[in-house]
């Protein structure tokens, strides 16, 4: 109904413009022929109709785009639901495929990126153990299972699940912005209580990292990572070497009650806002720079901290 009214209005407007233009031309230039005046008036009226046609085409285009966007959103939602459902499949190769499908969706549809990261982190928080963690927690890849010795051998299911989890870790790293990627979004990771193996986040930009009571097996590489929100490792246990070189903890760093089985490399690392140290310092390589005004909880004795003179020393409840 509205379209018909607009069409009728445009026709009436075209007629009025044609008549008005013709009359104006004959009044301004009486010597001009009537046919020429009518022709010019007709062109002016036709312009009104052309403008209406252009508006109508633009409206149809925007309607088609909105419909296409709705269809795309529906398709993306269906893809997400199917991929999440496949994460419960018994076959490890199906679960790997589901994770790649989720990662592809996150790249194609940016609004899904944090959701996919949450799903991958939730998968890693599922209870999991592997005989290699018990035999060689500092470097599970060096675990040996010689025949005839009384050692716990991994089952095919455990090895398959280990592969799936390593895939999840790698995809998490790939989805985080780094280098020349200009994505300003802060993506958060929650690995609370998870068993993590050879986690590598070098050069990535992360919002908040929650890794309370997380067990890190093998080398943990956080070199040149930028944390804009707090990085929380309260109660975490690092079985292998930890690389924090050139890392920036702009939102604060909590290592409360964290345990370190090997050395912690903090060369060139900086912390701001707050730093919570564990009571037993690890074997340090380099020194952690504490920016002026940073709240340092617990006694930093035993830690090699630079800038401690300008920091604020507070107690556990400070």
Please tell me which residue, 24 or 133, carries the higher pLDDT value. Answer: 133
The number of helix segments (H) and strand segments (E) in the chain equals: 6, 21
pLDDT per residue over 214-267, tens digit each?
999 999 999 999 999 999 999 999 999 999 999 999 999 999 999 999 999 999
Beta bridge partners of 276: 254, 297
CA distances from residue 139 to 132, 152, 185, 236 in whole angstroms, order as listed? 8, 17, 34, 17
Q: How confident is the model at residue 28 (pLDDT cuts 50, 70, 90)?
A: low
Q: Is the pLDDT of residue 151 over 60?
A: yes
pLDDT per residue over 286-299, tens digit each?
989 999 888 888 66
Mean pLDDT of 151-169: 93
Q: Residue 172: what pLDDT?
A: 98
pLDDT per residue over 252-263, tens digit each?
999 999 999 999
Percent of the chain at pLDDT > 70 equals: 72
Q: Is the pLDDT of residue 318 over 50?
A: no
DSSP, res 178: B
Q: Residue 27: what pLDDT?
A: 58
- Mean of per-residue pLDDT scores for the chain: 83
Query: How many whole angstroms separate alpha carbon 19 and alpha carbon 256?
Result: 85
Beta bridge partners of 285: 265
- List, in order, residues 6 or more apart from 95 with CB less than 8 Å away: 86, 87, 89, 164
Q: Is the pLDDT of residue 133 over 70?
A: yes
Beta bridge partners of 25: none
Q: How confident is the model at residue 146 (pLDDT cuts 50, 70, 90)?
A: confident
13-17, 105-109, 313-317 — which one is most confidently predicted on average? 105-109
State the residue for tokens 């018909």: 4
CA distances from residue 236 to 99, 217, 220, 248 in whole angstroms, order as listed? 26, 11, 12, 19
Kindly report the three-state secondary structure assignment for every residue of 242-277: EECCCCEECCCEECCCCEECCCEECCCCEECCEEEC
Please report, for the chain, the start and end positions of each structural domain, with discontinuous segments joined by +.
Answer: 2-69, 87-144+153-314
Q: Is the pLDDT of residue 102 over 80?
A: yes
Nearest residue to 233 (alpha-carbon basis) of 276, 265, 173: 276
State the residue for tokens 């930028």: 226
Helix (H) or strand (E) holding 313: strand 312-314
- Number of Cβ within a 10 Å radius of residue 92: 18
Backbone angles phi, psi at 67, to 5 degrees: -65, -40
Contact 69, 54 (CB under 8 A): no
Tokens for 314?
Answer: 């507070």
State the residue for tokens 């413009």: 17
Backbone angles phi, psi at 237, to 5 degrees: -130, 120
Q: Residue 307: what pLDDT?
A: 81
Q: Is the pLDDT of residue 21 over 60?
A: no
Please tell me which residue, 27 or 115, carries the higher pLDDT value. Answer: 115
| Distance, C-alpha 63 to centroid of its chain | 31
Q: Residue 177: what pLDDT?
A: 96
Tokens for 137?
Answer: 């927690």
Q: Residue 238: what pLDDT?
A: 96
Q: Residue 266: what pLDDT?
A: 94
Percent of the chain at pLDDT > 90 equals: 54
């Amino acid at each position: 109904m509205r379209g018909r009214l607009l069409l009728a209005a445009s026709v009436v407007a075209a007629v009025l413009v044609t008549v008005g233009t013709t009359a104006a031309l004959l009044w301004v230039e009486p010597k001009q022929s009537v046919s020429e005046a009518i022709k010019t008036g007709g062109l002016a009226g036709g312009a009104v109709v052309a403008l209406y046609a252009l508006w109508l085409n633009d409206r149809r285009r925007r309607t088609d785009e909105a419909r296409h966007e709705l269809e795309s959103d529906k398709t993306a939602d269906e893809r997400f639901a199917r991929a999440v459902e496949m994460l419960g499949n018994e076959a490890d190769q199906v679960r790997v495929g589901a994770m790649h499908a989720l990662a592809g969706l996150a790249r194609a549809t940016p609004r899904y990126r944090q959701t996919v990261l949450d799903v991958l982190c939730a998968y890693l928080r599922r209870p999991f153990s592997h005989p290699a963690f018990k035999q060689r927690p500092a470097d599970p890849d060096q675990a040996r299972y010689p025949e005839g010795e009384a050692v716990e051998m991994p089952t095919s299911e455990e090895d398959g699940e280990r592969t799936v989890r390593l895939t999840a870790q790698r995809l998490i790293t790939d989805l985080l912005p780094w280098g020349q990627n200009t994505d300003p979004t802060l993506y958060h990771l929650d690995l609370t209580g998870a068993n993590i193996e050879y986690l590598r986040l070098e050069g990535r930009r992360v919002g908040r990292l929650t890794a309370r009571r997380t067990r890190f097996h093998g080398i943990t590489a956080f070199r040149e990572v930028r944390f804009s929100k707090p990085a929380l490792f309260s109660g975490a246990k690092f079985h292998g070497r930890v690389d924090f070189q050139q890392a920036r903890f702009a939102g604060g760093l909590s290592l409360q009650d964290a345990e370190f089985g090997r050395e912690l490399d903090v060369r060139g690392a900086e912390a701001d806002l707050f730093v919570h140290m564990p009571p037993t310092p690890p074997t340090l390589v380099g020194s952690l720079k504490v920016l002026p005004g940073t709240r340092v909880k617990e006694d930093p004795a035993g830690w090699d901290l630079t800038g401690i003179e300008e920091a604020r020393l507070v107690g556990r409840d400070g």
